[in-house]
Structure 1
Amino acid sequence: MVTWPWQRDRAAARTLKLRSRGDFGDVSRVDFEELAPDIDTFLGQAAYLQLGYFETLSQLIAPTPELSHKESLSLAAGAALIKHRGLVKLIRDRHDDPLEIMLPFREPLDAFRRETHGARPLETMLTVHITAGMLDDFYLALAASYGATGERAAEILRADDDRQALTQIIADAIASDAEWKSLLALWGRRLVGDTLLIARGALGPQTLDAAEEKKVEPVFTDLLAAHSRRMSAIGLDA
C-alpha cells in the first residue's frame, strides 16, 4: 500500500466539479467541498502521470516490429510528452520548481506503472489507453477546483492524446484472435481497481466519512461508465 503525500495545509476550501467531456457525455455536476487536494499535489501528480505515459509508450517502440505500429506508439508518446511539458510550464509560471513539485509522487506513481505494465505489448497499450483515459477525466474534474490555473491545466489535458491508432491495433488483434479478446478483457478489468486507487489517492482527505463518500460516489460511477464505453468501443467487455 503506497502512502500519498497529500496531507498539506490548504488555505481555502475548494470545490471539485465533474464536467461533461468526451466519454462522459451529459453527466451531472457533483461538488466536493474541501476534498480537492492542494494545487501542488494536483499539478505534481498530473505532470508526473503524463511523463509516465510517455516513458511507457516510448519503451514499446524498440521491440515493436511493424513500422506502422512504431509510428502509432511514437505519436501517442509525443502527445503525452506535450501534455507533460505544458503542465511543467504551468508549474514554472507559478514560480515553482517542477522537479520539487513532482518528486513526492515519483515513487507511488512508478509503483502504479510497474503494477499495471503488461507482460505483452498489447496489454501495455491497453493499460495506457484505459488508465490515461480514466485519470485524464478525473484530473479534468479536479481542475475545476483551481480557478484560472485549473482552466489552463484542463486545456492542456483536453489536447489530443493521439491514441486512436493504438486502439485500432488492439481492435485488430481482438478481431483476428479470440484468445486476445478474452485475455485483454480480463486485463482491462484488472486495471480498474488500481486506477481508481490512484484517483482516490488524489483527493485531499486520507479517509472519508459517510457524507463525503456519498459525494465521491457519483464521480467514480461516471469514471466506470466511461471505462465501459472505452472497452466496448474496441470490442471488449468491461
Structure 2
Amino acid sequence: MVKWFWQRRPEGRQLTLRSRGDFGDAVRVDFAELAPDVDRFLGQAAYLQLGYFETITRLIRATDDLEEKEALSRAAGAALTKHRGLTDLIVERGKSPTALMLPFREELDAFRRKTIGKRPRETMLSVHITAGMLDDFYLALASSYGDTGRRVARILGADNDRAQIAEIMHQTITSDDEWRWLLSMWGRRLVGDTLLVARAALASDRLDTEDEKRVEPVFTALMGGHARRMDAMGLAS
C-alpha cells in the first residue's frame, strides 16, 4: 500500500513548525529547497487571510444570534489584520499586493467554495480547521525567508480570535448528537482538500523520495494539530 509523505515516520532538521496553541517540542526539517520564492509565498499567504475574512463575513450575515455575530466579527477582524500586515510587508518590498495575490485567486477561491458547508455551523468549522492547518503550514514555511520570514511569523502567530468559534462548535455538538456526527464527518472531509492546498504551495510540482522525507514531519505535525483542534471541540478526528 502506498503511503503519502505525511503518513510516514518523520526525519529531518532545520524547519520549525508550531502547532496552534502548542509551544512545546518543535518539529524540524530541512525545507528550504522546497519552499516557493518569497513573492509567491507572500501572495498566497495574504490571499488566504483575505479569504478567511470574506468567509467569516458571510457567516456574520447568515446568523441572527448577536453573540455569534460578535464572536465571528472578532475572528474576521483578526484575519483582516493579518492580511493587512502581509500586504504592508509586500508594499515595503516594492511589490504590488494585488499582483502577487492574483495568480492564486482562482485556485484558492475554488478551495474556499469546496469548504463552505450547506449550513453555517459547517462553514464555521471549515474556517477553524482549514485556517488552523494552513496558518501552521505557512508559519513552517516562514523560517525559509530570513528577516522577512520572521516578520511573517509574527503576523501569522498573532491571536486568531477563533476560540469562541470553537466554543460554539463545542456547545453545538454537546447539545445534539446528530450535529456531533455531521461535524465530525465534515471535519474529516476538510483535511484532504486542505493538505492539497499546502502541497500546492511548495516550489516543486512533484516530490521525489528524498523530498517526501523532508516534508513528512511538517505534514505529520499538521495532522497532529488538526487532531488536537478536533479533540478540543469534542469531535473525533
TM-score (norm 1): 0.91
Structure 1: gaps (5+ residues): 1-14
1:174 partner amino acid: I
Alignment of 1:157-168 (within 5 A): 157-168=156-167
Q: What are the Cα deviations for residues 164-212 of structure 1, in whole angstroms up to 9, with x where unaligned?
A: 1111111000000000000000000000000000000111000011111
**Paired position in structure 1 for 2:74:** 75
SS of residue in 1 equivalent to 2:31: strand
User: Does 2:16 correspond to 1:18?
Assistant: yes
Partner Cα separation in structure 2 for residue 110 and residue 20 of structure 1: 26
RMSD: 1.3
Matches of residues 139-218 of structure 1 in structure 2 within 5 Å?
139-218=138-217
Q: What CA deviation, in whole Å up to 9, does each residue of 1:114-150 have, x standing for no partner? A: 0111111010000000000000000000000000000
Give the letter aligned to residue 157 of structure 1.
L
CA contact (8 A) 2:18 2:136 kept: no
In 1, the alpha carbon distance for the partners of 2:54 and 2:123 equals: 12
- Give CA-to-partner distance per residue, 1:87-136, whole Å, 9 cap, x none: 00000000000000000000000000001111110100000000000000
Q: Tell me the equivalent position of 2:231.
A: 232
Judged with a 3 Å threshold, the aligned counterparts in structure 2 of structure 1 residues 163 and 33 are, in CA distance, closer, same or farther, namely: closer
2:58 is aligned to: 59
Identity, in percent, stands at 64
Deviation at 1:26, TM superposition (A): 1.0
How many angstroms apart in 2 are the aligned matches of 1:116 and 1:216?
Answer: 25
Paired amino acid for 1:213:
E
Aligned counterparts, 1:105-124, within 5 A:
105-124=104-123
Runs of 4+ in 1 over 2 A off after TM superposition: 18-25
Give the structure, 1 or 2, with the largest relative contact order (CA under 8 Å, sep 6 or more): 2
User: Equivalent residue of 2:35, what SS?
Assistant: coil
Number of the residue aligned with 2:86: 87
1:16 is displaced (CA, Å) by: 6.8
